[in-house]
Structure 1
Amino acid sequence: MDILNLPHFKVLHVEQTEHDYSIRAEMASPPIICPNCYNRDFVGYGKKEQLFMDLPIHGKRVGILVNRRRYRCKECNKTFLEILPDMDEKRLATTRLIEYVQKQSLKRTFASISEDVGLDEKTVRNIFRDYVTHLEKTVRFATPEYLGIDEIHIIHPRCVVCNVKDRTIINILQNRNKETVIKYLMELPDRDRVKYVSMDMWQPYRDAVKLVLPQAKIIVDKFHVLRMANQGVETVRKDIRANMTPKQRRTLMHDRFVLLKRRHELKEAEFLKLESWTKNLPDLGKAYELKEEFFQVYESKNQAEAIERYNAWLSKVTDEICFAFEPLIKALTNWHHEVFNYFNHPITNAYTEALNGLIRVMNRLGRGYSFEALRAKILFTEGLSKSKRPLYRRQNREPIMSRMVIAETTIDYQNWDTGVPITTLVDFIEKGKI
């Protein structure tokens, strides 16, 4: 039985230890021509033993010691080594092992792969980088009409780019800097296709979009605005706890989730807790009512009604409570146009809820990986991305010899990716699939 299953090689000897197979082999057939001048007249000129790592067998690492012959051509007088099919001479590994490492590098740590196959960890890392470079060139994510730009924490804050309608991730950038975002947007294929951009209130994002995608309407997703209203209640809660006993502080800390809930979502026991806190702490009660009224702004039927409700809400923010909602008021002053664009082009909650689910589990994925490895795992893991066929494109008629001849119609069947579904990615992470 041929243990290697490499038809170009002849196995000479096999040894095994507790952890490894050592297989001596040589080329099954000698070369036919000189690779330099293509002459057939050459003679042997010594041998060279080279070690190539291969796929594990029976859970053991495999090293192939190739007894490689050297030849000298009588015509051009140059020497040459046998060409080794199925071998990657740069990495000193079989091509099938390289392919295995490429796939595994999106699922496992480099150290575990190194121990598994016997390659140096640095070599595994270099194989991974070459593979990602290849994927970057060959896997193209379609540019959506609704583009989402948000933040995700992977070791450090990163810019995550999404297809809002399909709820998929199409890229994760190294950082959130204006220059980084501009460079990415400039390289988007068909960037004129983008009609709307949803984002959080981060000035570099707005600057980049206005510069590169001037045709796109910028929309601040309501999640980011409503979160600031909740933070106003939290600010008041933290402010008043200074005058509380340790027991009261602990109780209020435990009950803070009641304060962040909408009134109509409260169960009976939660409603009683809310009444107890708001009656005994009037400032907390005012903050809660302001939060509830601000949420009602987003129940408006149109932009005009939303602006009217917001102005009415603003008039109720008294001086003694203003400090808690000042960040929210300042944000709506600076981002007024983009915030109220939401009411003409509402973004579904499902997108931000899915993204929040991803943020929640990212720390679990991040242990032991570099940003580059995590990014590749998210974007390129097999079975994650969604694909669609491109639209049918009809060819134009071309005049030939004074006649109108219809050119042959062709359809490009190569799939293009719409991105990685966020909910699927969360599921993969929670189940330990990546």
Structure 2
Amino acid sequence: MQDYCITKLIGLENVIVSNIVETDTHLEILIETKPCHQNCPQCGKRTRAIHDYRLQKIRDVKFREMYTYLILKKRRYKCTSCGKRFYEPYAFLDRYQRHTKRVLQALLVKVRTVNFKEVAKELGLGHSTVIRWFDRYYTYENHSLPRILAIDEFKGTTEKGTYQCVIGDPQGFKVLDVIQDRKLSTLKDYFRSLPTHRVQMVVMDMWQPYKILAQQLFQNPIIIVDKFHYARHHFWALERVRKRVQKSFQDKDRKSMKKLRFLLHKPKEKLTTREQELLQYYLELSSDLKKAYQVKEAFKKWITQSNERNVRSNLEQLYQAMDKSGLDEYQYMKRTFKSWEKEIINSFIYPYTNGYLEGINNKIKVIKQMSYGIRNFDRLRNKVLCSLI
């Protein structure tokens, strides 16, 4: 009864615990099994003849927050038919291993949320051992694409390039794969290896190779530009006007104008009385700044009041406001909008964005910081997928 309780406590069945040795740093549990008939791996005959014993030290998971080793009295049998000598198999230990199966199980669970170094420290393993097991057991292959495909990039740390691509399903909120870079040739090679007939819509940012890729590889897809990526063009244009105007002000106004950035972008209806007075003061100092603010209000009206019926007419009104302002900063924005006009209008017709992938990019950033960067692309890809799938 006592042996049964001990084996249940340490989670090992059909073993005999002969001794437990505790030191300041670790725990050693001496175990053995009962002799029984074994099948010879060479001829298949059953035998009970014991050839010899030897002790093997095996790493196990922590017990009572102490590093734990199993001191196993390994038994070797001899086949009476063919003379083959072989070790007894154990349910808790794989062949040729010096770590129990549950150490591997714990590693594969912990490595999803913790970096390799911390996993090695927690389990008492070598750093290279953790990486080797991770590379062996975590491999992913993407075999299909969804009806609605989202594509975005993140800044990587691997040897493959500055940027890596991540693709996902914005409808099912799934990460599908990570691609080594965002070059058009690489993307074409990747998607040509997959069946693309299901893809009907592609959500992307305003990176031209993505648009070329979708038009060439998919069958007349509906291309949607993520709202954040064209909205920030307006933010950049307004900021360029503010910085240009700010340089022409006197020292007092130039220094205090740093707070104006937040007032310019804050919704007009949410401004306090003091903020309205301050904003009006600066707008009166510069006609260019006043014109830029008027374009900002026109942009806000377009993006908040447009729907699939009036988005095109409202966009034309925004173009007119840009032209009326006469500001060079808005001409680049207008040219960009013109070249992506159809895709921008689609973002008002269909309810899909890259918001989910932007959240995934933030999680990838945390994974990279937690690991202090991962240079091997395949390892980074598998680490991202095992953490997020």
Structure 1 counterpart SS, 2:38: coil
2:234 is matched with 229
Give the drift of 1:42.
7.2
1:99 is matched with 105
Q: Relative to 1, partners in 2 of residues 1:47 and 1:183: Cα closer, same or farther, differing over 3 Å?
A: farther
2:151 is matched with 149
Query: Does the CA-based 8 Å contact 2:322-2:330 persist in structure 1?
Result: no
Residues 122-201 of structure 1 correspond to what in structure 2 (within 5 A)?
122-133=128-139, 136=140, 143-153=145-155, 155=157, 157-186=163-192, 191-201=196-206
2:294 is matched with 289
How far does the alpha carbon of each residue in 1:68-104 deviate from its partner, in whole angstroms, 9 at most, with x for none? 2333434333332222222134552111221111111
Q: Relative to 1, partners in 2 of residues 1:98 and 1:277: Cα closer, same or farther, differing over 3 Å?
A: same
Give the drift of 1:44.
3.9
1:316 is matched with 324
Write the distance in 2 (CA, Å) between the matches of 1:327 and 1:116: 54
Residues 34-433 of structure 1 correspond to what in structure 2 (within 5 A)?
34-41=40-47, 43-89=49-95, 91-133=97-139, 136=140, 143-153=145-155, 155=157, 157-186=163-192, 191-244=196-249, 248-298=253-303, 299-300=305-306, 301-318=309-326, 321-322=327-328, 324-343=329-348, 345-347=349-351, 351-352=353-354, 363-369=365-371, 370=373, 379-381=385-387
Give the drift of 1:359.
5.2
Write the distance in 2 (CA, Å) between the matches of 1:374 and 1:366: 8
Q: Relative to 1, partners in 2 of residues 1:358 and 1:283: Cα closer, same or farther, differing over 3 Å?
A: farther
Write the distance in 2 (CA, Å) between the matches of 1:90 and 1:326: 69
Write the distance in 2 (CA, Å) between the matches of 1:116 and 1:287: 57
The 10-residue stretch of structure 1 (149-158 or 370-379) with the greater mean CA deviation from structure 2? 370-379
Instruction: Report the count of equivalent residues.
Output: 372
1:400 is matched with none
Structure 2 counterpart SS, 1:316: helix
Q: Relative to 1, partners in 2 of residues 1:314 and 1:302: Cα closer, same or farther, differing over 3 Å?
A: same
Q: Which runs of 5 or more structure 1 residues have no equivalent in the other structure?
A: 386-434
Write the distance in 1 (CA, Å) between the matches of 2:272 and 2:149: 37
Q: Which runs of 5 or more structure 2 residues have no equivalent in the other structure?
A: 1-5
Write the distance in 2 (CA, Å) between the matches of 1:204 and 1:28: 67
| AA aligned opposite 2:25 | H
How far does the alpha carbon of each residue in 1:120-171 deviate from its partner, in whole angstroms, 9 at most, with x for none? 12112222233322xx36xx89844332222334555432323323455444
Query: Does the CA-based 8 Å contact 2:77-2:87 persist in structure 1?
Result: yes
Write the distance in 2 (CA, Å) between the matches of 1:279 and 1:82: 90
Query: Does the CA-based 8 Å contact 1:194-1:216 persist in structure 2?
Result: yes
Query: Does the CA-based 8 Å contact 2:150-2:168 persist in structure 1?
Result: yes
- TM-score for the superposition, normalised by structure 1: 0.74
Give the drift of 1:285.
1.9
Write the distance in 1 (CA, Å) between the matches of 2:101 and 2:199: 41
| AA aligned opposite 1:347 | P
Write the distance in 2 (CA, Å) between the matches of 1:362 and 1:278: 42
Q: Relative to 1, partners in 2 of residues 1:311 and 1:280: Cα closer, same or farther, differing over 3 Å?
A: closer
Structure 2 counterpart SS, 1:128: helix
Give the drift of 1:114.
1.5
Structure 1 counterpart SS, 2:284: helix
Write the distance in 1 (CA, Å) between the matches of 2:296 and 2:355: 20
- TM-score for the superposition, normalised by structure 2: 0.82
Write the distance in 2 (CA, Å) between the matches of 1:167 and 1:271: 41
1:404 is matched with none
Q: Relative to 1, partners in 2 of residues 1:362 and 1:280: Cα closer, same or farther, differing over 3 Å?
A: farther
| AA aligned opposite 1:240 | V
How far does the alpha carbon of each residue in 1:345-387 deviate from its partner, in whole angstroms, 9 at most, with x for none? 3335xx4556556656765554232457776566444xx76xx
Determine what percentage of the aligned residue pairs are the same residue. Answer: 26
1:416 is matched with none
Write the distance in 2 (CA, Å) between the matches of 1:353 and 1:279: 38
Write the distance in 2 (CA, Å) between the matches of 1:158 and 1:362: 11
Structure 2 counterpart SS, 1:88: coil
Structure 2 counterpart SS, 1:93: coil
Q: Relative to 1, partners in 2 of residues 1:91 and 1:70: Cα closer, same or farther, differing over 3 Å?
A: closer
| AA aligned opposite 1:312 | Q
Write the distance in 1 (CA, Å) between the matches of 2:359 and 2:282: 30
Query: Does the CA-based 8 Å contact 2:170-2:356 persist in structure 1?
Result: no
2:3 is matched with none
Query: Does the CA-based 8 Å contact 2:299-2:318 persist in structure 1?
Result: yes
How far does the alpha carbon of each residue in 1:188-228 deviate from its partner, in whole angstroms, 9 at most, with x for none? 5x642322111101122222222332231111122211110
Query: Does the CA-based 8 Å contact 1:306-1:340 persist in structure 2?
Result: no
The 10-residue stretch of structure 1 (367-376 or 66-75) with the greater mean CA deviation from structure 2? 367-376
Q: Relative to 1, partners in 2 of residues 1:74 and 1:28: Cα closer, same or farther, differing over 3 Å?
A: closer
